[in-house]
Amino acid sequence: MSAASARPVALVTGSSRGIGLAVAEALAREGFAVAVNGPADDAELAAAVERIAAHGVPVAAAPFDVAAVAGHAAALDAVEQALGPLTTLVNNAGVGVLKRGDMLDVSEESWDRCFAVNAKAMFFLSQAFARRLLARSRAPLFHSIVNVTSSNAVAVAEQRAEYCASKAAAAMVSKTLAVRLGRENIAVYDVQPGLIATEMTAPVIAAYRERAAQGLTLFPRVGEPDEVGTLVASLATGRLPYTTGLSIPADAGMLVPRF
């Protein structure tokens, strides 16, 4: 594929494992060139790069800490140097709380960490991404930002107050981006996963599986990273035409109001 035939290029933050890695794979299956990100240039990132490369698409390792805002421009430069002009940003990197428990005991450190990675990084990386898109001609490729927030953007988990607050902020970042970038024909989506089996949820997955089986989710099971990956790739390829600013629960109907 020549540069002129313009292959879409995606940066997926936090794609060294979990949902981000599944998103990177789903995008590779769609023919995207993919920049794989984690905070460190380590064996996990190298393994993820190898896994994406097996799909036969261009791939680059993009090790950087998304919370280090001053490094964003250089990180995007490096990705574009390796893969060409970016079309797609998936803000997926996220962290949980340092300690589950009563919100009356939440530490400032855990609050700041949740907000730095889950909300602030998404805002400023999107800003850096949008600035470079606006500075060049973009047609005819589809351009988008897909943010991975959480069911906790809208539903309280009492033991993880600071995570919920950071995800609610991230969901609003998504909406504000959609408003600003609509006139530029850049679509912005907010994907809100529910209970997905990854390392992040490993300590509680047995309890989640039980609650899902008992009806917490309408499909009586937890989700797999690939399911979120396929959803994100559908959005990033423009398969929901004439849409932007959507918050899409990937939660098997967990938050459908019932009584």
Ligand X SMILES: NC(=O)c1ccc[n+]([C@@H]2O[C@H](COP(=O)([O-])OP(=O)(O)OC[C@H]3O[C@@H](n4cnc5c(N)ncnc54)[C@H](OP(=O)(O)O)[C@@H]3O)[C@@H](O)[C@H]2O)c1
In the complex, which residues of this chain contact ligand X (CB under 6 A)? 13-14, 16-20, 37-40, 44, 65-67, 92-95, 117, 148, 150, 193, 195-196, 198-201
> Token digits for 37?
């990100």
Closest approach of ligand X to the CB of residue 43, in Å = 10
Cβ closest to ligand X, residue 141 vs residue 204: 204
Cβ closest to ligand X, residue 9 vs residue 146: 146
Closest approach of ligand X to the CB of residue 124, in Å = 12
User: CA-to-CA distance for 32 and 18, rounded, in angstroms?
Assistant: 19
Closest approach of ligand X to the CB of residue 139, in Å = 31
Q: Report whether 89 contacts 145 (CB < 8 A).
A: yes
Q: Report whether 255 contacts 155 (CB < 8 A).
A: yes
Q: Report whether 27 contacts 233 (CB < 8 A).
A: yes
User: CA-to-CA distance for 83 and 69, rounded, in angstroms?
Assistant: 22
Closest approach of ligand X to the CB of residue 179, in Å = 22
Cβ closest to ligand X, residue 6 vs residue 73: 73
Cβ closest to ligand X, residue 8 vs residue 14: 14
- Please tell me what DSSP assigns to residue 29: H
Cβ closest to ligand X, residue 6 vs residue 95: 95
> Token digits for 87?
């079309």
User: CA-to-CA distance for 39 and 91, rounded, in angstroms?
Assistant: 13
Cβ closest to ligand X, residue 120 vs residue 143: 120
Whether omega for the bond prior to residue 249 falls within 30 degrees of 0, making it cis, is no
Q: Report whether 197 contacts 223 (CB < 8 A).
A: yes
Q: Report whether 236 contacts 32 (CB < 8 A).
A: yes
